[in-house]
Structure formats: structure tokens, C-alpha cells
Structure 1
Amino acid sequence: MAYCPRCNTYTEHSVSIYHQGKRRELAEGQRRYNRKLKGYGSSPKPKQKRFAKVNKKISLVLTCSKCGYKLHKSLGRMKRVELV
């Protein structure tokens, strides 16, 4: 049970883990980055040698069973998540 702002009541929600969508090649930022990579020379930004963070932030998507409204809830950093 979770609160749905559209239904304005507590309803059953289905839970799934959020995954990023595919990157768009024609997005303005991607075109700018590709333009920067073009030509002679190396990468425009230095390659990161050591990583401070080892875990990814996990985000859940709660979907209302009545109206289909989707809520995003952040769980924070963890190595592995299992939905049972």
C-alpha cells in the first residue's frame, strides 16, 4: 500500500526497479558531445582513474493499480536489490 496523489488515497502499487532508457543520438547535448569528440586529439574530458563510489543509487518505480500513475522512490546506494 502506498499513497497515490492522483487517486488521493492509499492503493496497491506494483513495484519495479527503474532502468534508464536508450540515449538519443539527436539530443542537443549528445550532438554537442559528438562535435567535441570530432577531429584530432584525445577525449575532451580526462578519463577517471579511480572511482570513489562503488554502488549505484537504486530507484524504484511504483505503479498504481487503479489509475496507472507512476511514482519514483529513491532507496539510496546498495550493491544488489532483489524484488520478491
Structure 2
Amino acid sequence: MTTEVTQVTFEELSALMKKAAGVTVDPRDLESRADVPFGEFGLDSLGLLGIVGELENRHGRALPTDAERCKSPRAFLDLVNGTLTTGA
């Protein structure tokens, strides 16, 4: 069974932050401040770990361990989307 790989967007990341960590951030704010550390949005390392786990479940593959160490939304999305695109 093949699944179409789509890019994780700022909107999806915002929804995952709410679901996995209870942190509400407007996706437009997340995108406009994409290089700001996650901590400034109220997301800690455990929350990011929850997001990584959710994405792994959704896409049926492990993400690099570096994903949970990303400091900003842009760094996280670049790593995740690069992994999903290449299948690495």
C-alpha cells in the first residue's frame, strides 16, 4: 500500500502543538516567526517529543532523533519534510 507523502505545514504543526502539548498558537504567527525558539511559543521538549510521536504514527515511519531536538518551527519542518520526501 502506498500513501501519498504530503508536506507538514505550519497549520498542521499548530494543530499538533495543540493536540500533543496543549499549546495554542495561530498558524500564521507560527509561520511569521518560524525561526523563533519553540520555548517562546510555550512548547517544551516533551511537547515536541509528543509531536514527533504523532507524526511517526501518522506516516508509519520513524523520524530522525534530531527531530525532537529542533529549536524552531522552521528547523523542525525542514527536517521532518526532508525526511518524509526522501523516505530516509
TM-score w.r.t. the length of structure 2 is 0.26
TM-score w.r.t. the length of structure 1 is 0.26
**Bigger fraction of residues in helix:** 2
**Bigger fraction of residues in strand:** 1
